[in-house]
């Protein structure tokens, strides 16, 4: 099944927009035009429907409630940056909760971990998501936009306000850090 705003119930019929003030209809247009891109990016970052819906909704609520109800100069950049920041915050919060639960379980159980669980694809994806959430913001933003949202370097650079070459360097550094973190046995136990 394809993941898109319609399949998740996140679309809005513009013909029913009479109750929305004309000065705010640009928000609905942005939802229609950029919704599929946001859902795809959020799905790749978060990996589950509930979190995608929450981040999508929060992103557009923030857009609709900007100070003085002013439209940002670059709506696409604003939405992508806001959505990726929300998604990374959600991942960080989940990681804190997961670490708390794991420490609680370790205190109350003395079972040995299953070594086959490390090979599980979902487990590795969660480790990678956790690693991305722990990267410095400037590196994490490039990874999210380039690899998860699948944007070209030029567009990533424009959104982040950096040069294209800097985006390439940041991605390279981020991948090296993630690879180092993922290859350490002790980091697998902590995450």
Contact by Cβ (8 Å): 74, 30: no
For residue 98, being part of any structural domain is answered with: yes
Contact by Cβ (8 Å): 60, 21: no
- Is there a single domain that holds both residue 175 and residue 128? yes
Q: Which domain holds residue 10?
A: 1-109
- Is there a single domain that holds both residue 191 and residue 143? yes
Of 74, 109, 144, which residue is a domain's last? 109
For 7-159, where are the E strands, in sequence order?
none
CA distance 156 to 80: 10
CA distance 33 to 99: 38
Domains of the chain: total: 2
CATH number at residue 151: 1.20.140.160
- Is there a single domain that holds both residue 88 and residue 146? no
For residue 13, being part of any structural domain is answered with: yes
**What angle is formed at CA 138 by the lines to CA 59 and CA 145, rounded to 5 degrees?**
50
- Is there a single domain that holds both residue 133 and residue 96? no
Kindly give, in sequence order, each residue whose CB lies less than 8 Å from that of residue 163, ignoring residues fewer than 6 positions away: 157
- Is there a single domain that holds both residue 29 and residue 101? yes
One pLDDT digit (tens) per residue for the chain, 191 residues: 455 555 555 555 555 656 666 667 788 888 888 889 999 999 998 888 999 999 999 988 888 888 877 788 888 899 999 999 999 999 988 888 888 877 776 766 655 555 555 456 777 778 888 888 899 999 999 998 998 888 899 999 999 999 999 999 999 999 999 888 888 765 544 44
- Is there a single domain that holds both residue 6 and residue 88? yes
- Is there a single domain that holds both residue 100 and residue 156? no
- Is there a single domain that holds both residue 93 and residue 128? no
């Amino acid at each position: 099944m394809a993941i898109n705003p319609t399949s998740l119930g996140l679309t809005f019929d513009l013909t029913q927009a009479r109750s929305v003030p004309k000065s705010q209809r640009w928000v609905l247009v942005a939802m229609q035009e950029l919704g599929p891109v946001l859902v795809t990016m959020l799905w790749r970052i978060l990996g589950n429907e509930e979190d995608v819906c929450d981040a999508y909704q929060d992103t557009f609520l923030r857009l609709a409630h900007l100070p003085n109800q002013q439209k940002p100069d670059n709506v696409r950049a604003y939405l992508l940056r806001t959505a990726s920041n929300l998604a990374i915050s959600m991942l960080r919060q989940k990681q804190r909760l997961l670490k708390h639960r794991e420490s609680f379980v370790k205190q109350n159980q003395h079972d040995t971990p299953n070594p086959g669980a490390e090979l599980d694809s979902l487990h590795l994806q969660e480790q990678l998501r956790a690693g991305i959430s722990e990267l410095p913001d400037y590196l994490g933003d490039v990874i999210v936009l380039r690899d998860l949202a699948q944007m070209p370097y030029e567009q990533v650079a424009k959104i982040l306000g950096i040069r294209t070459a800097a985006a390439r360097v940041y991605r390279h550094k981020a991948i090296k850090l993630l690879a180092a973190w993922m290859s350490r046995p002790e980091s697998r136990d902590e995450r």
